[in-house]
Amino acid sequence: MSSKNIIIANWKSNPNSEEKATKLFRSVKSLSKTLKNSTVIICPPVVFLKALASIGILTKCKLGIQDISAYDGGAHTGEISVSMVKAFGVSHVIVGHSERRASGETNIVINEKIKTILEAGLIPVLCIGEREREHGMWYLHEVKKQLEENLRGINKNKIKKIIFAYEPVWAIGARATRVATPEESLEMSIYIRKVLSDLYDTNIAKTVSIIYGGSVDERNASSFIEHGGVHGFLVGRASLDPKQFITIAQA
Ligand code: PGA
């Protein structure tokens, strides 16, 4: 496991102009210089990549994107390929976000996307997480199935490169029913390592990076780092406020 914390900003479909996007990026970039042991990765809408890349990428402040085509080019209307985004210095790609799963993205497609991302030498940020916790231990099976199907056919040397983002769907966004507890995050981080140990080996299970996402803010961030078994975050709403985002990164 990397000793560095990884804080990923998922801007989703925000902001609504290039001017606002560059302003936000400049603020985060400047504040990120104060970070000691964390790397921040900003994932804007792809239309802003060129403008943000021209402002410059730092070792502590990198660029990522929120989704990618499973194909590197070809007849795929509306898709953005890995080669296109690599040209702007993108290093990380979010894949399998629950908002994309909810609009029909299957585990098979996510598996293809992860292979394409790894093939291009980029780092996948694989989002996994249950839709609800109502029915006994079913939520563990749901996450296990995601891991098994999303990672199928990927060898263990490549698995080490993936960042696993545990994002319980019920804790994400403005419609979150509640915030997860650090204990729930810890339980799932142990479970993810157990599944990876069964699928690969204990070394892989121990070394992979696991981060948490879902209603992270400046008040709850440090308790997840201290007790949640994770060493970073995938942040949605709070990433649109540079000061709050950097406070989370300092947690
Ligand atoms: P949130 O979003 O921080 O606004 O809950 C997290 C995410 O969707 O990754």
Q: 182-194 pLDDT, tens per residue?
A: 999 999 999 999 9
Q: Rounded to whole angstroms, how far apart are CA atoms 2 and 17?
A: 35
Question: Which protein residue has the closest C-alpha to ligand 1 atom 7?
Answer: 236
Q: What is the pLDDT of residues 101-128, one digit of tens each?
A: 999 999 999 999 999 999 999 999 999 9
Contacts of 17 (CB under 8 A, 6+ apart): none
What letter would DSSP give residue 178?
S
pLDDT band, residue 238 (cuts 50/70/90): very high
Q: Residue 212: pLDDT above 80? A: yes
Give the pLDDT confidence of 7-51 residue by residue, as tens digits.
999 999 999 999 999 999 999 999 999 998 899 999 999 999 999
Residue 1 has pLDDT above 70, yes or no: no
Round the average pLDDT of the chain to a whole number and report it.
95
Q: Each residue of 39-90: pLDDT tens digit?
A: 999 999 999 999 999 998 888 899 999 999 999 999 999 999 999 999 999 9
Query: How much is the pLDDT for 135?
Result: 80
| Beta strands 232-235 and 163-166, pairing class | unpaired
Number of neighbours of residue 179 by Cβ within 10 angstroms: 16
Measured CA to CA, the distance from residue 142 to residue 158 in angstroms comes to 23
Question: What is the distance, to the nearest Å, from the Cα of residue 61 to the centroid of all Cα atoms in its chain?
Answer: 15
Q: Which atom of ligand 1 is nearest to the CA of 237?
A: 4
What is the residue whose two structure tokens read 């210095």? 89
Q: How far apart are CA 53 and CA 49, in angstroms?
A: 6
Show the tokens assigned to 204: 């892989």
Query: Ligand 1 pocket, 215 CB below 6 A?
Result: yes
User: Which residues are identified as catalytic?
Assistant: 97, 167
Evaluate whether 154 touches 118 at the Cβ level (below 8 Å): yes
pLDDT digits (tens, 9 = 90+) for 125-174: 999 999 998 888 999 999 999 999 999 999 999 999 999 999 999 999 99
Tell me how far apart the alpha carbons of residues 42 and 39 are, in angstroms, rounded to a whole number. 10
**CA distances from residue 152 to 114, 115, 167 in whole angstroms, order as listed:** 10, 10, 20
Ligand 1, atom 3: nearest CA belongs to which residue? 236
pLDDT at 58: 80
Distance CA 16, CA 246 (A): 22
Q: Is 236 in the pocket of ligand 1 (CB under 6 A)?
A: yes
Q: Please tell me if the CB atom of residue 211 comes closer than 6 angstroms to any atom of ligand 1.
A: no
Percent of the chain with pLDDT over 90: 91
pLDDT score at 3: 64
